[in-house]
Amino acid sequence: MLIIISTADLYIIGHFPRQDGTAGWICFFRKDFLPASTRRHISRLPVFTPGAGGSLYFLDERQNQDVGSIFRKIKEEKGSGYIFSDDLQRTYLVELVHFITRLHQQHFPSILASSN
């Protein structure tokens, strides 16, 4: 399961691959952490609209593995001490945003087509 919540200045993304919801990942970050071009892109998507009440997606096994891999990379990079760690985490977040965009498009293709 993938949960997306957007507030005025914060994105919260949770991934809970187990059916019982007892294990998973939560990532929250300020909107200004992402590049301006990415912020413009995702601000057009209903899934990232502040106050929309959040979005919930149920994932298949492959999708759970893909999202889990992105979250693991973010976690590993956070404590790495690498001089460009923030940039690399930003890259992984953009990858996660693209995953969510693709997932949203599969569920609501007409909404994305009209936002282009």
Q: Dump pLDDT digits (tens) for 22-62.
A: 689 999 999 899 888 888 887 787 777 776 667 889 999 99
For residue 79, the enclosing domain spans 2-115
pTM more than 0.85: no
Number of structural domains (the chain) is 1
Strand partners, 56: 3
Average pLDDT over residues 9-27: 85
pLDDT in the model for residue 37: 86
In tens, the pLDDT along 62-73 reads 999 999 999 999
